Amino acid sequence: MLRRVVAVLALAMAAAACGSTAAPTAGQATRGAAAAKPVSIKGADGVAVELKAPATKVVSLEWTYTEDLLALGVTPVGVADVDNYETWVTAGERVNGRTTDVGTRQEPSLEKITALAPDLIVAEKFRVGQNLDALKQIAPVVVLDYTGEGTGRTQYAHMRQTLKDLAVVVGRQAEADRVLAGLDAKIAEVKGRLEKAGKAGTDYTVTQGYTGENAPVLRLLADNSLAAQVLAEAGLKNAWKGKGDSWGMTETDVEALKQVDKATLLYVASDKDNVFTGALAKNPIWQGLAFVKEKRALPLDPGTWLWGGPKTTEQLLEETAKALGA
């Protein structure tokens, strides 16, 4: 496999050397005056990636970093799992039709990535293990970790730092500052709206639901999640006190909701697999929950991604405010 990848890479490099007068494609328009300056980023694996100039042809193998790059004004030349990104992550700029789908996040296509001749590949630590060596044969790879474990930062703080780190290697630091300032303004705006509507301090639980093994599965967001932390910034209180995994969620079933039925439930579900209006609606336990009886089970936009970057965080804030009537 590696011989084939290297051979394809050689052909791609040869083609690139021939030059072109075509209009800029994805990623190419972002190189500016800082292009000549070396840049570096230290990955979650402890490996520092050094580039002679900011990257302009980036392949993103994780949705969070795709969102981050788009927020910075950089359209990746390649993105993993484009169709599902468009479905589950609806905040921020779109990628469909503007980039190459390089396969799934778990098993990206080495051949497609090689053909793009990227100058940087951005990968997620928990997915990239078996492909890392092969990817490094194609281009420098920065391995990031959404969870931020071992950094001493909260997921919310880590999300902000990740955006800043990526901004350095694509030469977009000023844009990162602008994006984060916009997020801060959104938090302040939503906090004010909630206070004005008398919703400050509302107890809530956020969950994503889907069907697994023919039964509803619920992901309840714990206090160590990005979602809970940013909603706390807006003045709301997370009622779910179960232990979250490294991604900040507790995967459970409808029985667990008995612990939080006095709170307001904010839920996310795909239009094609809405367990809250489907299987759960017929479930006696669900029907008996106080927030169901009192109509405090409130849907958020199906495309509200709960493990994203600044734009999805802004979307979560806005969707929550609207759901609570603020």
- Counting the structural domains of the chain, the total is 2
Both 55 and 118 in a single domain? yes
Both 108 and 217 in a single domain? no
State the chain's mean pLDDT as an integer.
89
The answer to whether residue 282 scores a pLDDT higher than 60 is yes
pLDDT at 98: 85
* CA proximity to 100, closest of 80, 86, 71: 80
Q: Is the dihedral of CA 149, 127, 222, 258 positive or negative?
A: negative
284-310: pLDDT as tens digits: 999 999 999 999 999 999 999 999 999
Cα 113 to Cα 130: distance, rounded to the nearest angstrom: 16
Both 159 and 206 in a single domain? no
Confidence of residue 27 (pLDDT cuts 50, 70, 90): low
Confidence of residue 214 (pLDDT cuts 50, 70, 90): confident
The answer to whether residue 275 scores a pLDDT higher than 80 is yes
Both 165 and 211 in a single domain? no
- Establish if 86 belongs to a structural domain: yes
β pairing state of 100-101 and 48-51? unpaired
> Last residue of a domain, which of 171, 205, 221?
171
pLDDT at 21: 31
DSSP letter for 280, please: G
CATH of the domain at 98: 3.40.50.1980
* CA proximity to 207, closest of 254, 245, 271: 254
Confidence of residue 32 (pLDDT cuts 50, 70, 90): very low
Both 208 and 167 in a single domain? no
pLDDT at 31: 44
pLDDT at 97: 85
Q: What percent of the chain has pLDDT over 70?
A: 89
Both 205 and 242 in a single domain? yes
Higher pLDDT, 203 or 31: 203
The answer to whether residue 246 scores a pLDDT higher than 90 is yes
46-71: pLDDT as tens digits: 999 999 999 999 999 999 999 999 99
Both 84 and 201 in a single domain? no
Query: Quick one: average pLDDT of 114-140?
Result: 94
pLDDT at 96: 78
Confidence of residue 230 (pLDDT cuts 50, 70, 90): very high
Both 111 and 154 in a single domain? yes
Full residue range of the structural domain in which residue 34 is found: 2-171
Both 154 and 204 in a single domain? no
- Establish if 186 belongs to a structural domain: no
pLDDT at 34: 46
The answer to whether residue 186 scores a pLDDT higher than 50 is yes
* Dihedrals phi, psi of 242, to nearest 5 degrees: -70, 160
Both 146 and 207 in a single domain? no
- Establish if 182 belongs to a structural domain: no
Both 141 and 230 in a single domain? no
Both 150 and 236 in a single domain? no
- Establish if 316 belongs to a structural domain: yes
- Establish if 191 belongs to a structural domain: no
Query: Quick one: average pLDDT of 212-228?
Result: 95
> Last residue of a domain, which of 171, 188, 223?
171
- Establish if 311 belongs to a structural domain: yes
- Establish if 178 belongs to a structural domain: no
- Establish if 179 belongs to a structural domain: no
The answer to whether residue 199 scores a pLDDT higher than 90 is yes
The answer to whether residue 25 scores a pLDDT higher than 60 is no
- pTM, rounded to two decimals: 0.86
The answer to whether residue 143 scores a pLDDT higher than 50 is yes
The answer to whether residue 239 scores a pLDDT higher than 70 is yes
The answer to whether residue 144 scores a pLDDT higher than 70 is yes
